[in-house]
Amino acid sequence: SIGHELNLRSLRELCLAITNASENRIFYSGKKAPALTPATNLLTRISEILAPLGNRPLVHQMLIWPIVCAHFVQVASCPDESRVGVTALSDVISNLLLSESQGLCFNQMLIAPFQAIICSDTCSPETREQIVAALADFVKTKSERIGSGWKTLFGTLRALRTSEVDGDSVHWTVLDVIATYLRIDNSVLSWSLPDCLLSAADSKPVEDQLSEAALRLVNPTYTVILNLFKTPHIPNPNLLHNFRAELRAVCLDEVETDNDPSPLQGTLPWEGLLPSEVASLELLLSFVEHLAGTLVTAPLYIQPSLLVSVQQLINTIKGLKTACFCLSTLLLPHVQKWMRRIPKNEEKADAVGICTQMVADIFALEQSKAFWSFSSLPVPIKG
């Protein structure tokens, strides 16, 4: 109740005093001093003081939080106190995660200490597992409250996926967190899915089963994007900005000729779409581009399966122009880079065959008039 009853100035002084006492006890005092308060008790006390902070004005939280979170990040590097410190930090964040108004980013500050701990060279495997378990609990129980915290949450998972982690249990937990996130049924996905795509696509080489499990996330991700396209929602302005930037990047410069060139025929796939549909289309293009980019850097044993998954994804895109754009602009340039690195001619032949088959499938579907609009229901991807 102290954190609720004290005025802001007194609460700030109390937090400064107790964090200084904890820092002195952990880093500077002798370990055999029985008269001093145990460091674990001080960390727990900090958590108890901050527990009711969520009932205070946001400006109070923004002033107090930097004081204590920096101390928790320091404690996470200590072998004896790291477990208690991360537990106390998780409890505080869980209490302070509240639904925030549009444009605020305090929840992003709340989860940022986890990312700082993971990126530290002194982070132990046990601490990594503890942090991933805490993030998994947030996704399962507080998905509607995370808000701007999705960015740092997926940034933390991405740091885990790309770091040299001993053992595969952490990678399995990260994939489970992503799978749980994809099952969320609300409009928060439009704002946080770009960060999810980055954490799912980037990883260090892992065992075959982990790679196959990651590939199984392709179909659920595409289904989420398609549902967002069909459901009116407030579009993410960042997606709209990225889409316009990409459109300017693919526009050709004017060429001076003696004769006037004939105008281009046809329209682009996104003309006439609503802003929410354009944002969803940008998610689709980013998804295909991430998969194609992963093809270049993925281990050799997973590259053929990844290319097949991309082929199946493009074949299920409902819309001839959208599918052709994904194939010609996003996939084929990455396939060309990948083939330059393939040492075996057999794999090159397989890649050429798969790409040729994709082109043939597109022409066949065009002739049969089987292409619908991108807003139609998806065809399940096998595998």
Domain check: are 217 and 333 in the same one?
A: yes
Based on the domain organization, do 112 and 91 belong to the same domain? no
Instruction: Note whether 274 and 360 are same-domain residues.
Output: yes
41, 66, 96 - which closes a domain: 96
> Where a domain ends, among 47, 81, 96?
96
Maximum CA pair distance of the chain? 93
**Residue 158 domain-assigned (yes or no):** yes
What pTM was computed for the model?
0.78
57 assigned to some structural domain: yes
Q: Does residue 346 carry a pLDDT above 80?
A: no
- What is the Cα–Cα distance from 174 to 171, expressed in whole angstroms? 5
pLDDT tens-place string over residues 134-152 = 999 999 999 888 988 998 9
Q: What is the pLDDT of residues 37-74, one digit of tens each?
A: 677 788 999 999 998 888 899 999 999 999 999 999 99
Q: Are residues 226 and 311 in the same domain?
A: yes
Whether residue 133 sits in one domain with residue 225 = no
Say yes or no: 216 and 340 in one domain.
yes
Domain limits for position 120: 101-185
Mean pLDDT of 207-232: 80
229 and 370 fall within a common domain: yes
Asked whether residue 82 is domain-assigned, the answer is: yes
Q: Are residues 64 and 108 in the same domain?
A: no
Q: Are 225 and 307 in the same domain?
A: yes
Q: Of 96, 114, 137, which one is at a domain's C-terminal end? A: 96
- Reported as a single tens digit per residue, the pLDDT across 88-114 is 999 999 999 988 877 788 999 999 999
Q: Is residue 88 part of a domain?
A: yes
Instruction: Answer yes or no: do 164 and 78 share one domain.
Output: no
Domain count across the chain: 3
User: Percent of the chain at pLDDT above 70?
Assistant: 75
- Model confidence over 257-283: pLDDT tens digits? 555 555 545 556 667 778 887 888 888
- Would residue 344 count as lying in a domain? yes
